[in-house]
Amino acid sequence: MNTKALQPVRLSPQETAFVRGLVIYEDAEVLALNKPSGLSSQGGRGQVHTLDELLWAFAKPGKPRPRLIHRLDRDTSGVILTAKTKPAAGALGKAMMGRRFSKTYRAIVTPGAPEPRGGVIDVPLRRDEQGREAFTRVCPPDHPDAETARSRYRTLAEAPGAALLELEPETGRMHQLRVHLAHVGRPIAGDARYGGALVVGGQPVPRLMLHAAALKFPHPSGGEKRLEAPIPDDMASLIAALGLTVA
């Protein structure tokens, strides 16, 4: 979350319409969007605006623009939450640091369901910088850079060569779900960085098949809020083509 004074970003009418079309929930304090795959949350390279910059489409005179509370990887789609006020940003930031956010993902993995079909992957991770690229690696618990990482999973559907999983990260390390699943021999389809298949069951995989399907969090005004983002068409099509539809 960036709290520095920011210069407004000039957006085209097309960009404004695009980001407004991503909204799945809004009230006086929070704004949630269904981020598409391929859009960087923050700090992207190149000429294309990041989601953080596109949030200027919601700026109102005399008020701060919405600010991101968390991030999703560029190639991951799904629910992403922003705060519309400074008090809301503070409350949500504390809740996230206190691990009071609950995130649920869907992923297509290969070559089938993990063994066992449900459980917890509890394997430490470390960040590995290689030039301008950052990777996450499995490491021993006594490694000086080791960070605790726990991912809960269960199999929703299985077909020859693939499975559809529901994932709940208990910690929020970079690329955590991707690396944990690769570690147990079930990399996420389309994840070229960590060994994911680019063709599954004769079907080309257009991108990383990881979607942030739901987010539950303490609302700044009190109580809990749960938001859901529908699975994108390209992922839904692959689920159907592979016979992974959940009854």
- Is the predicted pLDDT of residue 160 greater than 50, yes or no? yes
The residues with which 164 forms a beta bridge, in sequence order, are 108, 157
Q: What integer is the mean pLDDT of 67-82? A: 96
Higher pLDDT, 108 or 7: 108
Q: Which of 23-37, 48-62, 105-119, 183-197 has the lowest mean pLDDT?
A: 48-62
Question: Of 52, 73, 75, 191, which one is the catalytic site residue?
Answer: 73
For residue 75, indicate whether it is catalytic.
no
* pLDDT at residue 5 tops 80: no
pTM for the structure as a whole = 0.94
List, by residue range, all CATH 3.30.2350.10 domains of the chain. Answer: 13-101+220-230, 105-209
Length of the chain: 247
Answer whether 30's CB lies under 8 Å from 74's CB: no
Contact between 73 and 79 (Cβ < 8 Å):
no
In CATH terms, the fold of domain 105-209 is: Pseudouridine synthase (3.30.2350)
Superfamily of domain 13-101+220-230: Pseudouridine synthase (3.30.2350.10)
CA–CA dist 187, 196 (Å, integer) = 5
Q: How confident is the model at residue 44 (pLDDT cuts 50, 70, 90)?
A: low
In this predicted model, what pLDDT tens digit does every residue of 181-201 receive, in sequence order?
A: 999 999 999 999 999 999 999
Give the confidence band of 13 by pLDDT, cuts at 50, 70, 90: very high
Residue 10 has pLDDT above 50, yes or no: yes
pLDDT greater than 50 at residue 2: no
Written as one string, the DSSP assignment of 51-106 is HHHHGGGG--TTSPPPEESS---TT-EEEEEEESSHHHHHHHHHHHHTT--EEEEE
Mean of the pLDDT values across residues 167-194? Answer: 97
Cβ neighbours of residue 75 closer than 8 Å, sequence gap 6 or more:
37, 38, 190, 207, 208, 210
Give the model's pLDDT for residue 106: 98
pLDDT at 4 over 60: no
DSSP at 164: E
Residues 133, 137, 142: CA angle, nearest 5 degrees: 130
Q: Give me the mean pLDDT over the 24-51 stretch.
A: 90
Per-residue pLDDT, 1: 45
Mean pLDDT of the chain: 94
Amino acid at 123: V
